[in-house]
Amino acid sequence: MKLRNKLSLTFAMVVLFTVALLALLSNLFINSEFKKYIAAQQEQSARDIVALIGAQYGGAGSWDLGMVNSIGLKAMEAGFIVTVYDNEQNILWDAIQCDMAGCMKVINNIEARMRQQYPHMKGEFTSRDYTIMRQGVAVGTAKISYYGPYFLSDNDSNFLRSLNTVSFSVGLTCLILSIAVGLYMSKRISEPISKAASAARRMSNGDYTEHIEAENDTAELTELVDSVNHLSKVLSYQESLRKQLTADVSHELRTPVTSMQTHLEAMLDGIWEPTRERLESCYEEAARIGSLVKDLEALARIEADGFSLNKDWISLKKLWSKTINIFELELEDKNLSVTLDGDAREIFADEERIQQVAVNLLSNAIKYTPDGGIINITLTETKYHVLFSVADDGIGIPGNEIPFIFERFYRAEKSRNRKMGGAGIGLAIVKSIVLAHGGEVKADSFPDKGSVFTVTLPNG
């Protein structure tokens, strides 16, 4: 069943149940209160009739029988059958004797109406005797019969009927409204969900192009739509990186492989003498491929690990001394001097990875600094961070290229760098590792003046 139908159905069911319950309870309550009220009213009417008859006593056994007659007839019309006796039990006035046909009509009407409206009520005409009092003295008895425990006049039953009609119409209106609102609400809720679902399906088929637009003010749904959009962006970015990587790798490999192939071919065909120089050139190309593969391996390892870091407390000063030692030969070869200044407290980090950062930065500094240059490594700390910078007085990087040097395969002034052997992966590795530690890395550089790479790492 579709979410939308399910939601609207549930909504309608809940409202239907509530409205039905409300209508039932209010009906029961109103009916029972109304009946009590009517019963009390009838009892009061009977007493009023008795009091009115009492007022017709003229004293010394005399009655205004004309008035008693009209009171009795009026009472009969209202459903009260009256018989009046004097103190000696003589009948003074009797409704049945007076107007038998009228009485029967009233009785039959009331009985028929009550039986129709309340078939389960066991009502019947009952009589009660009331003592007629006049100035505190009993002057006779009135026997009053009416349909009990209560009966409804035409007006009363009309009133009840319109009350029921009103509650039924209110219930029906609520139900229709609730169905309309339910349909609208469930459409609003289900729309972004189904859009997100179909976007996810498209993504699983490799289509990351579509951006879902779903107007909604429900926080969770907005979050869902945003997450799906973000996911599609990330996947599409990764997809383009993957394609880019393949293109870059083949491009990087093509040059050395072609050059090696043509050289070797020429030597095999006897066009070229296999001199030491030519063999050395082939060896250099092979070495270039070797180092590219090594870089790629390092990058792949870092990215494949999902940056699981093996953290421990490490001293940056010790780490840098070790790193400088690794490059002793190269430094001597190029007659470069290295200084290590400052200090910083220990940080909680992955030693091997941070060492890799140091190695990459120092090897770049060595690579891009001409013979006799100076490299300064400085350690500092702030309240929440420790920093190290690697400054050289080498060839520098053009300002417009600085934003790109941390991207894979990016080499500033490409022609110049192919000579130097880098594949443009070292700084991408540096950036990945530093970001994985929650830190940041930046470069400042001026062509022919030198470069400074600064890494900031959080304490913990």
In degrees and rounded to multiples of 5, residue 318 shows phi and psi of -65, -45
- Binding residues for ligand ADP restricted to 167-206, rule: CB under 6 A: none
Least distance to ligand ADP, CB of residue 333, Å? 17
- Binding residues for ligand ADP restricted to 331-390, rule: CB under 6 A: 360, 364-365, 368
Residue with Cβ nearer ligand ADP (6 or 449): 449
Determine the Cα–Cα distance for residues 347 and 437; give it in Å rounded to an integer: 11
The β-bridge partners of 376 are: 339, 391
Least distance to ligand ADP, CB of residue 391, Å? 9
Tell me which H or E stretch contains 422. Answer: none
Residue with Cβ nearer ligand ADP (79 or 424): 424
Do 149 and 167 meet the contact criterion of CB atoms below 8 Å apart? no
Least distance to ligand ADP, CB of residue 237, Å? 20
The amino acid present at 126, given as its one-letter code, is: T
Tokens for 98, please give them. Answer: 């007076």
Residue choice 394, 434, 437, 457 for contact with ligand ADP (CB under 6 A): 394
Determine the Cα–Cα distance for residues 423 and 418; give it in Å rounded to an integer: 8
Beta strand residue intervals within 102-228, DSSP E: 124-134, 137-148
Nearest position to ligand ADP, beta carbon: 422
The number of residues that bind ligand ADP (CB under 6 A) is: 22
Tokens for 123, please give them. Answer: 């009502």
Least distance to ligand ADP, CB of residue 419, Å? 11
Residue with Cβ nearer ligand ADP (54 or 426): 426
Q: Sort strands 337-342 and 374-381 into parallel, antiparallel or unpaired.
A: parallel
Residue choice 72, 79, 171, 426 for contact with ligand ADP (CB under 6 A): 426
Least distance to ligand ADP, CB of residue 280, Å? 22
Residue with Cβ nearer ligand ADP (94 or 407): 407
CB half-sphere exposure, 134, CA atoms < 13 A:
18
- Binding residues for ligand ADP restricted to 208-267, rule: CB under 6 A: none
Least distance to ligand ADP, CB of residue 319, Å? 19
* Residue 154, C-beta contacts closer than 8 angstroms, at least 6 positions apart: 113
Peptide bond into 149 cis (omega under 30): yes
Least distance to ligand ADP, CB of residue 250, Å? 18
- Binding residues for ligand ADP restricted to 406-425, rule: CB under 6 A: 410-412, 417, 422-425
Residue with Cβ nearer ligand ADP (190 or 451): 451
Residue with Cβ nearer ligand ADP (4 or 353): 353
Beta strand residue intervals within 60-214, DSSP E: 62-63, 81-86, 91-94, 124-134, 137-148
User: Where does 55-86 have alpha helices with state H?
Assistant: 65-77
DSSP state of 404: G
Residue with Cβ nearer ligand ADP (130 or 368): 368
- Binding residues for ligand ADP restricted to 51-80, rule: CB under 6 A: none
Contacting residues toward ligand ADP, per CB under 6 A:
360, 364-365, 368, 392, 394-397, 405, 410-412, 417, 422-428, 451
